[in-house]
Amino acid sequence: MIKVNKQNCYKVLKPELFKAGEKLLGKYELYINNSLEKGTLRFCKSFGTKEAFEYGSYNSMYMTYFPEKQRLHLHCSSYGGMCGFTFDENSADDENLSYSDKECIKFTINLIRKLIDNEIIEYDEINKKDSIKVIAESRISTQEATDYISKSFLGRKE
């Protein structure tokens, strides 16, 4: 399950696809934003009604690519950028959310899924969870669990 936290960081597997002025996956136009770091590329999308923009209650999704680090950062915010929010794939089904909240959640989850499916980013859900829960949920063998714990906690590499 894809989860979006206040800040999300992904390893980029295909940096050659990130070019200023071009569209990533033919859809997401990237522009240079040197205010963060030289050569940084960004894609932004906002969600909300005309009134939401007028009163500052709209949502935004920011995707930022740092070429020197080969990292992609993703951040969702609401109320004109004043606060971040977290969600997962099931959050869009919450009937208490506004239409713009649901729209932002669906768009962001779909974007992440496309990036994963096209092998553009590496999404390692295991690193975002508690190790004991991962082992219990995945029903892996004792040896696999031991190997995972060794790598995670003891810093061993194969």
- Kindly report, residue by residue over 14-46, the tens digit of the pLDDT: 999 999 999 999 999 999 988 777 889 999 999
Q: Which pLDDT does position 129 carry in this prediction?
A: 46
- Kindly report, residue by residue over 92-126, the tens digit of the pLDDT: 888 888 888 899 999 999 999 999 999 999 976 54
Q: pTM for the full model? A: 0.74
Gap between the Cα atoms of 147 and 53, Å rounded:
50
Gap between the Cα atoms of 3 and 87, Å rounded:
6
Gap between the Cα atoms of 22 and 29, Å rounded:
6
Residue range 55-59: mean pLDDT, rounded: 88
Token pair 């597997």 in the structure block, residue: 13
Instruction: Give strand pairing partners of 84.
Output: 77
C-alpha neighbours within 13 Å on the C-beta side of residue 15: 11
